[in-house]
Structure formats: C-alpha cells, structure tokens
Amino acid sequence: MANYDLIIKNGTIVTADSTVQGDIAIKDGKIIEVSVGKSIEATADREINADGLHILPGLIDTHVHFNEPGRTEWEGLETGSRSLAAGGVTTFFDMPLNSTPPTINKANLELKSSAANEKSIVNPRFWGGLVPENIDDLKDLHENGVIGFKAFMSPSGIADFNNVDDETIYKGMKEIASLGSLLAVHAESTVITDQLAQEKQSQGKTTARDFVESRPIISEIEAVRRVISYAEATGCKLHIVHASSRKVVQVINEAKQRGVDVTVETCPHYLSLTVKDLEEKKALAKCAPPLRDQDEVEDLWAAVANGEINVIASDHSPAPASMKTITDNFFEGWGGISGAQSTLNIMLTEGHFKRNLPLEKIVELTATNPAKLFGLSTKGDIAVNYDADLAIVDLNESFELKKEDLYYRHQHSPYVGMTFKGKVKTTIVGGQVVFENGQPIKK
Ligand SMILES: [Zn+2]
C-alpha cells in the first residue's frame, strides 16, 4: 500500500507568509507533509509534477449567487461549482438570495445544502439572510451552520428577499451579536439612489454615465456610516461587501481604528473594469454599486496593496442573456456580473503582473483572510493538518478568455476577450482532483 494518496512534487508553494520550493504529501483529504527544499521519498497512488508551477491554497470565494434552488436556469450549483474549479476556487459561500426560496430559515437552508451536497464539486458553505420577517429564525440558521448573515440596505431586486429597515438592522444585529456571528451588508442609501434615479429618468437621462451617477460613492458612504453606527450600538461584527471605492474603504478604516469590529470586501470588477466598460459591454458590466472611473480603480489597488481590504470575492451574480439587454436606457437590464471563474486571473494579471502585488498578498486576500474571518480553521494555508484544497497555476502561460472557456450556465462575462497571464492547471479539493487538462471533473 502506498504511503500517501497524492504527492505534488517540485512546486513553488505560495502562502500568505512565504514562497518556497517543495513537495506536498496528501492523505485522506489532508496535507500530511510539506517538505521545503528536500523531496518527499515515499510512495503515493498518484504523483503530480509541479516543476515550474505555483501551488496556492485554493481560493475561498465568500460571495457568490448560484441561485439554486428555484432559479437554477440562472446558474445552479453544478455549473457554478464547475466554473469555480476551473478558476482555482475550492470553497464558496453562497448568498441567501437569488435562490428561491431564499435562505432565511432552517428549512430553506436544508433545501440548498442538500442540493449542494449532491451537485457541487467544491466545498459549499452558506450565508443566511437577515430580512424584516426572520429575526426569530436567525438562531436556528446559526446553529445549522450558516457562516454569517447578509442584509440589503437598499432593494435587492428580488421579490422574496426584502431589504432591512433601520429597526431590523438594530434588532438583527443585536441578535447576531448574541450568537457570536457576523452581519454582511450591501450598503447603498435608498434615499439617495432613488431620488437621483428619479431625477435622471424624468429628464430622459439614461446613459451609462447617468446610471452610474445615480448610485454615487456618497450613497455607499452614507449607508456604511449608518450601519457602522449600529455595529457600535450593538457590538455586532460587521462585514461590508463590494466596496467600489477607496473612499468607502477609508470610512471603514476610520471605524476600525476606533475599535469597531468591521471588515471590508471588494471585487475583481471594481479592480479591472470602469464606466467605459459599462458603456461598451452594457448589461454584462452592470452591477450595484456600479463600476467607477480609472482613477478610482487605481486608488482601490493602492488600498489593496496597503492592507486596507480584508477580502477579495467575486460577487458572481449571473443571469440569462435575455435579461442582460440594454438598448439605450441603462436603468433597464438586470444588474450582476458573471465573473467567479476569473478572480485569480484578474488578481494575477492586473495585480501581480501589472502592479507588482506580491503573490503572498493575493493568497492572503483570497484564501487566508477569508478562512480566518469566517472561522475555517483548516483552510486558507498550505501546512500540515490543513485540508488539501489547492490550486496549481502556470504563471508563464497567457491566454485570451473565450466564451467557450466559461463553465457558467450562461457563457457570458465582461472578462471575455481579456488576455490573462497565469493559468490554472489543476484544482484539488480535499485531496481529490476536480479540474485538470482544461476540464472540471464530473461529480
Ligand atoms: Zn452579491
């Protein structure tokens, strides 16, 4: 009998702390040995030669919308998880909405988790929702394993997932604090965005720029300031998702410095796309908060490099192409960007190669920090006793992303046509290969 299930030889192992040359031995889904500078002389059922390749902890995408059950025609756990495997992502946290029923009580959570156990080829975890109707369900959801709760301060666009009023935020955060959990918030001010959208549309101003100006950075800042006040009043841990600008991040950092327990996510699209892309790619590049201008993109990269951002997540929010048509009114057409397969590609191409962001920093933002923040104590690092969740990447290989390369249910993304440097060759989840030779492995 072989000593190990799998040995990965001669790879360049990247963690949040270091980049070293070495071998990794895996058994029963766990990393058993990491040998630096010396090869592991043992037998294994399988050996992967990673000479010339980089091995990263598999990415943990803390923000996806896979829409199953109930809206599987938008994405689904099978197609969604296959696209993640192709992108080197080994764990995802599915948002409570866009699936129907939404994850706002235990029964709905069970529907989703059983579908995920059946269909997902990477590790699934789930957010619970906080809506005005479900304060009494939060404890049950927490006890049944949700990684945290998500609320919208502005309308979600989904009829069965209501946004929270201030009373719900207060009561919800008190309850979530008592559970020792965390609240993630979509923070935009409805008052500001509604007024501006009405003004624009009543004047017939419906261009991409008009849409973006109807959801200004100050609307994010207003909502972030308000929810931070509630975090201070209740002691609830707070996580701001998809900050689109460093100006938003600065408000969060001021709160951190006063001792508020608050963290912040940004997304690859805010780091790689601008209003110009929205003008050209239309609904494929429409999201809320919207894309900003190039100076904002550069400022956000500076925030990333400076340690001001805690987590990079995709906010993969897919929909059928038929919902993504915009003729000349940018207030029409469904918002949400399909991008989960490309997170690592963007961080490598736009971050590492274009802006000298260290590989260790990319690992920290996409794997180590998410694991720490959400208490996944055996993930996010390449070390003995950690789960064997790995992405093996060729940093010398460049490719142009084609529609046919996408494993989403609907093969569209604003990133199609971009040239990326750094290609995922193999993805491993719990010691099992789930992607190789350009193909996800069927469950
Ligand atoms: Zn989202």
State residue 341's pLDDT score: 98
State residue 143's pLDDT score: 98
Helix-, strand-, coil-residue percentages of the chain, each rounded to 5: 35, 25, 40
CA 188 to ligand 1 center in whole angstroms: 13
CA 296 to ligand 1 center in whole angstroms: 20
CA 315 to ligand 1 center in whole angstroms: 5
d(CA 208, CA 214): 10
User: Count of residues for the chain?
Assistant: 443
The β-bridge partners of 199 are: none
Q: What is the DSSP string of 407-433?
A: -SSS---TTTT-EEEEEEEEEEETTEE
How large is the greatest C-alpha to C-alpha distance in the chain, in angstroms? 75
CA 63 to ligand 1 center in whole angstroms: 6
CA 95 to ligand 1 center in whole angstroms: 7
Grouped pLDDT means (10 residues each) for the chain, 443 residues: 92 98 98 95 96 98 96 94 98 95 97 97 98 97 98 92 95 98 98 97 97 98 98 98 98 98 98 98 96 98 98 95 86 94 98 98 98 98 98 98 96 97 98 97 82
CA 21 to ligand 1 center in whole angstroms: 37
CA 186 to ligand 1 center in whole angstroms: 8
Provide the 3-class DSSP secondary structure of residue 127.
coil
For β-strands 432-436 and 419-429, DSSP reports them as antiparallel
Provide the 3-class DSSP secondary structure of residue 284.
helix
pTM over 0.95: yes
State residue 1's pLDDT score: 67
Distances (CA, A) of 320 to 16, 77, 165, 286: 37, 15, 31, 14
Closest of 171, 121, 147 to residue 311, by C-alpha: 147
CA 15 to ligand 1 center in whole angstroms: 27
The β-bridge partners of 184 are: 150, 239
Reading the block at residue 253, the tokens are 């950092």
Q: If phi over 0 gives left and psi between -120 and 50 gives alpha, with beta otherwise, what is residue 176?
A: alpha
Does residue 64 contact residue 34 with C-beta atoms inside 8 Å? no
Provide the 3-class DSSP secondary structure of residue 35.
strand
Distances (CA, A) of 51 to 47, 307, 362, 381, 422: 12, 31, 21, 20, 15
Q: What is the DSSP string of 156-172?
A: -S-TTSPPPPHHHHHHH
Distances (CA, A) of 188 to 154, 170, 191, 225, 358: 6, 17, 9, 10, 32
CA 98 to ligand 1 center in whole angstroms: 9
State residue 326's pLDDT score: 78
